[in-house]
Chains A and B, each alone.
Chain A
């Protein structure tokens, strides 16, 4: 009798609640600092700006940003927002394409067993280094190197060669090019490491077989490496796109006169930042406009993410899944028929 009560007691002890207790802190913090701000951004985007922050305005902020309006403020906000979107896309595309090419090339070289590159580890570290420096320091470095300032290195060299100094930040082509370069330079090491891990994940016997069959390295690259690397490229594309659409630090910091953001470098994230702390208006920030822009950025990112993901799904896998579904359907139908037939 004693044993049975003890047994039943043991059965009733559940350790699950301790588990919940241990993971609770994370969820509490997450809800407080992640979920609530997200929801709050949504709510704020339906309210007014400045002194009218408590006034519900519905979709007015969205309308202003997307279509403008009949007063100067709406038109100006609309122009700036659209321009900032275009800038963001230009800056992202301009840094992603060279970045993926460069890192793919380096990854292929570094993983090729036929090439014996000395000091691989050293190069990997050196190429990854720019990513470790904070964006603030990188911007400061480049400000001293090439910027509006007549005392920046490039302008001093130009002056010594007898040329007029160039205001690099003012020129859309130059400044965008520089920002793209900085972004590429900062991130290609990171992408390269990812590509390398992708390539090293490919079964080496495939390369060996290709080698034995006499495939050239170009053929190996095109027929084996690239197709099998696709998931990794898609992953990089999606993470880079999410990061790129939210690009803030370098375009914001690459300005000699703080606060004077150039129209051709203003990204959506910079626009959002400017709106909720705009200039003299620190006393009544424009949360409504900033919130609406954030939500739109979120929606665009989500749509693009899903689109890219669907585009790049493994087509064989999709077809197989479909076939399996068809088969199951067919089987069920036949069963049903058989059942019905049986009844008949």
Chain B
């Protein structure tokens, strides 16, 4: 009897302790993630889906657009990564692209569509980056993950987070048709290929065609481009628009947009050199951006809204509190396809104030790019074969990439495919009133140079935008204070870079 009591007491105590520690265990779903399996209806994609690439010699390093170099077929995993998992889990911060990818990948590789599952961290920018780290730290099942251009280097340079693509059968010679910068950005600091991109994120200026006709008397994108061919012309046109609209319509959507166009189009040197950011180099990188921003912000040519806030996209509509606040947006390719920011900015077709299809695109004052996404392989993957198949279908195989262009309207990372799409002239973007954005942006994409990118660019971009925003809004008094504030915040945030 006594023993029974003792045992009971001990068990009760143990049970209590055990429940107290339950919180430490790893849950398979964290509250901030949403999981979903593919349920989309089977869509038929054009073209033959059989593997058509053949084993061939290594193609020339560079190819002229339009001339397709032959690429080798997908290799086999080298056995260093796990196999046999029952789902290919893809970590992302938006599933808009992914839902279009399932069919493309399934058709190309024969993989069962229900194999592919995504986990959306539900956050943007730097925050998404943080959520990723948490996911990795909590040992969640992740096979592939998407990385933004601002922070993919940090993941690729860390062997704990990324495996070489050769481990899943992907080699560099497969990217003979890709835009060079995507391959360069996909390598870690030792030159090992660790990420592959399916898109080239060339940027353009997307503007309200109806307002252009009303305020400037312009009807074609070519005439518009002539009006804004450089920054001086751009701001001169901005003045016209602002006056004609009764001081309502700003030329551009946000400071962040101008900075993206300016920094990736006009900046010539890397922010961090030899592990330091000097004030001189920072000033050189900034150019006349701060004074340009301040002058035009004060004049009302740059909207006061901030990117990714509630005020931002509604500016593109013609009714509501933010009606007609902006004449146009600086948008890259990924923001003007199906389910994109532009679609949100226009509002649902038929609703009050919707500007659906009333936009046009032109190159804008500078040739620039914004972001882009790289697919990386987690070293802890248990689906090496499927991971390889996914990457191959999305970033190498010409047929499936073309299918993706037709499905999502994204600018894929394959020169011959894009040249073909432009030559076909079949692409007509309903958001742009039927205009073909690829024809406008093809040249910009070929010119993208990311050799000056560093893994600190995400922090630098966000701190700079905060500082310049504060200066424009008047909370920082002078340009020197603005630079000073920017460098101070940077020095606090970066431990392994010296800010002088």
Contacts and interface: CB of A to CB of B under 8 A. Distances in A.
Interface of A: 18, 21-22, 24-25, 28-29, 49-52, 71-73, 75-77, 79-80, 148-151, 156, 159, 165, 167, 170, 256-260, 275, 277-284, 286
B488 interface: yes
A103 to B, nearest CB: 34
A280 B9 contact: no
A218 to B, nearest CB: 46
15 contacts: A24-B17, A25-B20, A51-B495, A73-B498, A79-B488, A148-B306, A150-B305, A167-B304, A170-B475, A278-B493, A279-B458, A279-B459, A280-B129, A280-B458, A283-B133
B260 to A, nearest CB: 16
A18 B5 CA distance: 10
B495 A25 contact: no
A280 B492 contact: no
A282 B493 contact: no
Given A51-B496, A156-B321, A72 B473 contact: no
B50 interface: no
B462 interface: yes
B443 interface: no
Contact of A151 (B308, B314, B494, B500): B314
Contacts of B494: 280-281
A234 B493 CA distance: 40
Can you list the 10 inter-chain pairs with the closest CB atoms, starting with the nearest? A50-B495, A280-B459, A76-B488, A73-B491, A25-B16, A25-B17, A279-B459, A282-B133, A29-B20, A279-B493
Contact of B495 (A29, A150, A167, A284): A284
A281 B9 CA distance: 48
Contact of B493 (A52, A159, A165, A280): A280
A149 B309 contact: yes
Contacts of A159: 321
B456 interface: yes
B470 interface: yes
Nearest to B134: A282
A331 B321 CA distance: 84
A21 B475 CA distance: 60
B31 to A, nearest CB: 13
Interface string B7-23: 00110110011001100
Contact of B158 (A49, A257, A283): A283
Contacts of A80: 488, 492
Nearest to B500: A72
A72 B306 contact: no
Contacts of B489: 76
B82 to A, nearest CB: 24
A52 B495 contact: yes
A167 B474 CA distance: 11
A167 to B, nearest CB: 6
A279 B13 contact: no
B13 A22 contact: yes
B151 interface: yes
Interface in B218-248: none
A286 B495 CA distance: 8
Given A149-B311, A280-B493, A73 B458 contact: no
B488 A72 contact: yes
Interface of B: 6, 9-10, 12-13, 16-17, 20-21, 126-127, 129-130, 133, 151, 154, 158, 304-306, 308-311, 314, 321-322, 455-456, 458-459, 462-463, 466, 469-470, 473-475, 487-489, 491-496, 498-500
Most buried by B among A159, A260, A283: A283
B17 A281 contact: no
Contacts of A24: 13, 17
A284 B496 contact: yes
Contacts of B470: 170
A170 B473 contact: yes
Contacts of B308: 257
B130 A282 contact: yes
B495 A281 contact: yes
Given A72-B499, A280-B129, A151 B492 contact: no
Nearest to A164: B304
Contacts of A79: 488
A252 to B, nearest CB: 13
Contacts, number: 117
B306 A257 contact: yes
A257 B309 contact: yes
B488 A22 contact: no
Contacts of A21: 9-10, 13
Nearest to A21: B13
Contacts of A18: 6, 9
Contacts of A49: 495
Contacts of B466: 257, 260
A167 B475 CA distance: 11
A275 B489 CA distance: 11
Contacts of B10: 21
Contacts of B314: 151
A10 to B, nearest CB: 12
Nearest to A280: B459
Contacts of B133: 282-283
Contacts of A71: 491, 498, 500
B158 A167 contact: no
Contacts of B499: 72-73
Nearest to B499: A72
Contacts of A148: 306, 309
B151 A280 contact: yes
A115 B133 CA distance: 60
A18 B306 CA distance: 62
B304 A150 contact: yes
Given A72-B487, A80-B492, A279-B493, A151 B310 contact: yes
Contacts of A52: 495
Most chain A CB neighbours (cut-off 10 Å) among B154, B311, B455, B462: B311
Given A151-B311, A159-B321, A76 B473 contact: no
Nearest to B492: A76
Given A28-B20, A282-B130, 12 more contacts: A21-B13, A25-B13, A29-B20, A49-B495, A149-B309, A151-B311, A151-B322, A159-B321, A167-B304, A259-B127, A260-B469, A283-B133
A79 B484 CA distance: 13
Which of A51, A76, A159, A279 neighbours the largest number of chain B CB atoms within 10 Å of its CB? A279
Contacts of B469: 260
A281 B459 contact: yes
B439 to A, nearest CB: 35
B487 A279 contact: no
Contacts of B304: 150, 165, 167
Nearest to A24: B13
A50 B456 CA distance: 14
A77 B154 CA distance: 24
A75 B462 CA distance: 21
A280 B6 CA distance: 54
A73 B20 contact: no
A75 B470 CA distance: 21
Contact of B126 (A151, A167, A279): A279
B211 to A, nearest CB: 19
A258 B306 contact: no
